[in-house]
Chain A
Amino acid sequence: MSKSAITPEAAAALVFDGASVMIGGFLGVGSPDRLIDALVSRGARGLTIIGNDTAYPTVGVGKLIEAGCVARVEASHIGTNATTQRLMSVGAIDVELVPQGTLAERIRAGGSGLGGVLTPTGVGTIVAQGKQVVEIDGASFLIEKPLRADFALLRAHEADYCGNLTYRLTAANFNPIMAFAADCVIAEPDEIVPVGVIPPDAVRTPGVLVTHLIARAHC
């Protein structure tokens, strides 16, 4: 059950150009900063990034946008990153805006074997364009499709040697959901602790979902 701990550079080498990549975080809080820096250093290209937002130009996912690593973004909000908005307006990045709760549920569906979700969010708006509307007991819902990716890059608080993860405060956000929805899941914890230090009830992401842990930063 024990996981290998790999360097951010080794992890960035796994994430091939053109890959779809879910990245946890909300305005940079709860984003895997060392993994992001390694992808920038590697000069990754053509990535599709799925995440809540593109943070700020010098923070979190914003660094990938700024470095030209990204071809496409699926996010709920890009208002804090003028670079994303500028690249979108000149057609250099393809952006699909998804309501935040819908994004969370589409990822959950993708990771839980569901064929999609029915949500009232977006009915009667641009978001409904091209989507099927169904009536359930007199109320209208959109059919929203599941979302999966080649990679999920997570930030966790603690990981044990089995890959069990915990999160802190508002740094959890999309991380525990994305852990289910990618072929390869790479988690960057604040610290790695021996098995047994995280009690079973405190585990928020079971280690079986995690492919690799990022090794501690060497001083």
Chain B
Amino acid sequence: MDAKEIIARRVALELRDGMLVNLGIGLPTLVARFVPKGVSVAFQSENGLIGFSAPPPEGMENSDLIDAGGGWIAALPGAASFDSVTSFALIRGGHVDLAVLGGLQVDAAGRLASWMIPGKFTPGMGGAMDLVAGAKRVIVAMQHAAKNESKIVETLTLPPTAARRVSLIVTELAVIEPTNEGLVLRERAPGVGMSDIFDNTGARLIVPENTPEMPLSSD
């Protein structure tokens, strides 16, 4: 199981029956593959759809039906389509229960940076700023480090996506919860030792007495 699959399988356990969920582009979209049995959620795509599923069979794609990453999707029975004002009223208005987003950095205050590296990479924020501002719960699903540099830092060195503190950080090494007191280490990935986590984390971690192993969705 690679790092991305570990992250996606752990995030999937945060899904609850009946939730409206928005998955960001990239790693977060993998979460849809591991929805636990017995849990039914609706996925929103911010380009204007609630209720979509895996890509249609090859050759049966509809030219008016894509997800926010530009991939072909199929609409499920009960799906609803809408314009961009409605889509972001759902997002900003707190109607989205859970947003799962990728990240470049998260800091000790729980702030996320996800949309630009000044001078190097400026894709734009797309819907990410609205999602962090408005979703009821925000989970950052990202690899713990990139190019040997921790993505969990004391203070952001990249432009923040929002001032808000995110709800949870899930990496291939650990589950970390930002709190008023700082970043609390909640779980460690299977086979990962405490020193692996400390060596790869650029911010102070609060370590409770008990740090259980991360459960993973087996579905």
Write the B82-113 contact mask toward A (1 if CB under 8 angstroms, else 0).
11110110011000000000000000000000
B129–A122 contact, CB under 8 A? yes
Given contacts A30-B64, A169-B81, contact A77 B126 (CB under 8 A): yes
A101 and B92 form a contact (CB under 8 A):
yes
Report B59 CB to chain A, min CB distance, Å: 18
Give the interface SS of chain A, mostly helix, strand, loop or mixed. Answer: mixed
Q: Is the CB of A170 within 8 A of B129?
A: no
Given A88-B122, A124-B162, A169-B81, A100 and B127 touching (CB < 8 A)? Answer: yes
A121 within 8 A of B: yes
Query: In the docked arrangement, what's the CA distance between A105 and B27, Å?
Result: 29
- Nearest neighbor of B118 in chain A, beta-carbon distance: A126
Cβ contact within 8 Å between A173 and B83 = yes
Cα of A76 to Cα of B82 in the assembled complex, Å: 18
Q: How large is the interface on B (under 10, 10 to 19, 20 to 34, 35 or more residues)?
A: 35 or more
**Assembly CA distance A121 to B128 (angstroms):** 9
- Which range contains the number of A residues in contact with the other chain? 35 or more
Distance between Cα atoms of A141 and B50 in the complex (Å): 27
* B contact face: mostly helix, strand, loop, or mixed: loop
Tell me if B39 is interfacial: C-beta within 8 Å of chain A: no
Tell whether, in the assembled complex, residue A121 and residue B92 are in contact, meaning their CB atoms are under 8 Å apart.
yes
Which of A97, A124, A172 is within 8 Å of B83, CB to CB?
A172
Q: Point out the residues of chain B lying under 8 angstroms from A53, CB to CB.
A: 124, 126
Question: What number of residue pairs across chains A and B have CB atoms under 8 A from each other?
Answer: 142
A85 touches B130 (CB 8 A): no
Partner of B130, one of A75, A99, A174: A99
Query: B91, A101: Cβ atoms under 8 Å?
Result: yes
Asked whether A38 is an interface residue with its Cβ less than 8 Å from the other chain, the reply is no
Q: Given that A105-B88, A172-B81, A174-B83 are contacting pairs, would A125 and B159 also be in contact in the complex, using a CB cutoff of 8 Å? A: yes
* B159 contacts A170, C-beta separation under 8 Å: no
Answer whether residue A104 sits at the interface, using C-beta atoms and an 8 A cutoff.
Answer: yes
From B40-48, B143-151, B186-194, B201-209, the one touching the partner chain is B40-48
B163 at the interface (CB under 8 A from A): yes
Where the two chains meet, the residues of B that have a C-beta atom closer than 8 Å to any C-beta of A are 45-49, 62-66, 68, 70, 75, 81-85, 87-88, 91-92, 122-130, 133-134, 159-163
Cross-chain pairs A/B with CB under 8 angstroms, 7 sampled: A78-B123, A99-B125, A99-B126, A101-B92, A119-B92, A127-B125, A204-B83
